[in-house]
Amino acid sequence: MNQTDHPGLVSGISQPEDERDAILRPRVLAEFLGQQALKDNLAVFIQAARQRNEPLDHVFLIGPPGLGKTTLAGIVSREMEAEFKLTSAPALEKPKDLAGVLTTLAPKSVFFIDEIHRLKPAIEEMLYMAMEDGELDFIIGQGPAARTVRIPLPPFTLVGATTRAGMVSSPLISRFGITLRLGFYESADVMAIIRRSAGILDVRLDEAAAALLAAASRGTPRVANRLLRRMRDFAQVAGTQLVTRRIVQDGLSRLEIDQYGLERHDRDVLTAIIEKYGGGPVGAETLAVSTGESVETLEDYVEPYLMQAGFVMRTPRGRVATPLAYQHLGYRSPNEAERLPF
The residues annotated as belonging to the active site are 69-70, 114, 163, 222
> How far is Cα 312 from Cα 110, in angstroms, rounded to an integer?
38
Q: Quick one: which of 70, 101, 82 has its CA closest to 4?
A: 70
Taking the alpha carbons at both ends of the chain, their separation in whole angstroms is 59
Three-class secondary structure of residue 191 per DSSP:
helix
Three-class secondary structure of residue 35 per DSSP:
coil
Neighbours of 196 (CB within 10 A): 16
Q: What is the CA radius of gyration of the chain?
A: 23
Please provide the DSSP assignment of 66-82 as one string: TSSHHHHHHHHHHHTT-
Phi, psi of 149 (to 5 degrees): -115, 125
CA dihedral 281, 285, 288, 292 (to 10 degrees): -140
